Structure 1
Amino acid sequence: MTTATANASRWSRFRESFLWYSFKRDKVAIASFIVFVLIALAAFFAPLLAPHDPYDLATINIMNSELPPIWVDGADPSFPLGTDSQGRDMLSTILYGTRVSLLIGFGAVILQAALGILFGLLAGYLGGKVDSILMRIADVQLSFSTLMVAIIVGAVFKASFGNLMFGEIAIYMLILIIGVAEWPQIARTVRASVLAEKKKEYVDAAKVMGFRSKRIMFRHILPNTLSPIFVIGTVQIANAIISEAALSFLGLGMPETQPSLGSLIKSGFDYIQSGSWWITMIPGLVLVVLVLVINLLGDWLRDVLNPRLYKG
């Protein structure tokens, strides 16, 4: 079978799947997916779509600061969404900032999924002391709010690294902070699925055939626990984006000189009363829409992957 034939066969099976059938029937899921894809593509191609480069200080003129959007009197047509307090084009900073927020959101979820899957598999399959130790650690961490844990860890990083919290280093730090703060939720979900799966006959058959525990966990049990991971992972992306915005707003995330949705909201917060509402409101609106469509997709995916909840 050629590669083209194999791909055609996979696409044919996908079009006949219940997932595709339910997606076509759900207008909210279709609209949410289209909006998310448009935002993601605009962010990914920010260097090509942005009218200005917010990182190029040579192109930023402080005399252009706080210019309103084009639908407000006194606007400059070269800045469609106005400018911020530093004279940066708001459209450009939002495109670049959304890319940073999405990168942090997906990166943090990948990290917490790796930790959560590993610890959840070990706790659920091995049980005993391993289960008790890992779940007590998770319980202690979950006794605090996720944002509180992220704030504590973020403050420690800020105090330890200081001025190093800039650029790509700040992005990696936030991915690490948010990923470490939220892994217990995935770990507990995976553990519950593993406890149900390890009692089934295919696991007993694998043990009888002499397969090692590592192979049974990762090649037999893990594929059957992916559905809840996909659901919670989708929701966690939205939570990670919100956590980044909150940390940046509190001064523990991306600095104001490095665009992200959180840092853009913070940079304009002090200018709302002076009339420059767009510096905070427009990035805030983008953040709300982005989080909303991700959560709507997560709700649809949850309903589809759980037949008892699906209403058609």
Structure 2
Amino acid sequence: MSTKSASELSWWQRVVQSDLFFLFRSDKVAMAASAVLLVMVVAAFAAPYIAPQNPYDLATLDIMDSELPPSWDEDMGDERFLLGTDDQGRDVWSTILYGSRVSLLIGFCAVMLQAFIGIAVGLTAGYFGGRIDNLLMRAADIQLSFSTLMVAIIISAIVQATLGSELYSQYAIVMLVLIIGIAEWPQYARTVRASVLAEKKKEYVDAARVMGFKSFRIMFRHILPNTMTPILVISTVQIANAIMSEAALSFLGLGMPVTEPSLGSLISIGFNYIFSGSWWISAFPGIVLVVLVLVINLLGDWLRDAFNPKLYKGL
């Protein structure tokens, strides 16, 4: 029986038979990291259905249940609260599920904003060059001279002072997406610019110019698809960085309010009680944050290696 041609295969068959999927199956660390990340993402976004308590519903909270240890504690543990409760009587397991959803949402949306700004700036700077390139890249260099967290803290403090703490809390997720997105776009801009400088000298770009295509079409329809490999690699790293930035801002009181828990705000809440013996309030969210960032970084490392032809040229 003759084998099917590539055009006759379904998209899933093409994925399974691709070299990238073969490399993925050959890397046990990448497979394990993907499985853990998938479980965490599904659990986070299914929080309303699997969490035993809604931490946003004040009617379900009882202050008498505050600071209860995990359920396996023989003296004070309560079987209703697997990982114990926080200072407001909220189930820590439920707050972790809801907090993970907030952290992932901010991380993914912030990276999308970073990519949008950085790709536009990098394409423009690399394609047109000259004064435009110098102006845009000097702006990126100035921002990179400061730490990302410092830029985020400054922007967050200015926004809070301008809008007020109450209004900021109402739109905290949107504000954090904007703050983290604006703080980290230079990473994309420099990466895309380097790729564009190499791509614009190739023959297909000259052919597009000869055919009379406008610069905008050449940049986004022809050059951009050929720069997607480094963009995909850097995106995985930036998602982890965005989640860490959100956690740091929330820990410092410049991120999510305590009434809307994220992993960072949960760690911040528990830090105030850790020396009084209530270690579980910050310990469990901290472990989840470390695991989440770790598996994303492991996938990023695998993607970087998988797209490097020098490492797999013998396959």
**Under TM normalisation by the shorter chain, which class is it?**
over 0.9
Match runs of 1:111-122 below 5 Å: 111-122=113-124
Q: Which residue does the alignment assign to 1:280?
A: 282
CA RMSD in angstroms, aligned pairs only: 1.4
Q: Structure 2: which amino acid aligns with 1:40? A: V
Q: Which residue does the alignment assign to 2:47?
A: 46
Match runs of 1:2-17 below 5 Å: 9-17=10-18
Task: Say which SS state the counterpart of residue 259 (structure 1) adopts.
Answer: coil
* Residue 160 (structure 1) aligned to one of 144, 162, 168: 162
Tell me the CA shift for residue 306 of structure 1.
Answer: 1.1
Q: Which residue does the alignment assign to 1:201?
A: 203
Q: Structure 2: which amino acid aligns with 1:203? A: V
Mapped partners of 2:13, 2:272: distance in 1: 54
Match runs of 1:76-225 below 5 Å: 76-162=78-164, 163-167=166-170, 169-225=171-227
- Sort the Cα spacing of 1:6 and 1:265 in 2 relative to 1 into closer, same or farther, 3 A: farther
Identity value in percent: 68
Mapped partners of 2:307, 2:251: distance in 1: 35
- Sort the Cα spacing of 1:126 and 1:88 in 2 relative to 1 into closer, same or farther, 3 A: same
Aligned length: 307
Q: Structure 2: which amino acid aligns with 1:179? A: G
Match runs of 1:287-306 below 5 Å: 287-306=289-308
State TM-score, norm by structure 1.
Answer: 0.96
Moved more, 301-310 or 227-236: 301-310
Q: Which residue does the alignment assign to 1:68?
A: 69
Runs of 4+ in 1 over 2 A off after TM superposition: 5-8, 309-312
Q: Structure 1: which amino acid aligns with 2:17? A: E
* Residue 236 (structure 1) aligned to one of 220, 238, 245: 238
Task: Say which SS state the counterpart of residue 273 (structure 1) adopts.
Answer: helix
Tell me the CA shift for residue 310 of structure 1.
Answer: 4.3
Mapped partners of 2:144, 2:30: distance in 1: 31
Structure 1 residue runs of 5 or longer lacking an equivalent are none
Tell me the CA shift for residue 207 of structure 1.
Answer: 0.6
Moved more, 38-47 or 69-78: 69-78
Tell me the CA shift for residue 186 of structure 1.
Answer: 0.4
State TM-score, norm by structure 2.
Answer: 0.95
Structure 2 residue runs of 5 or longer lacking an equivalent are 1-5
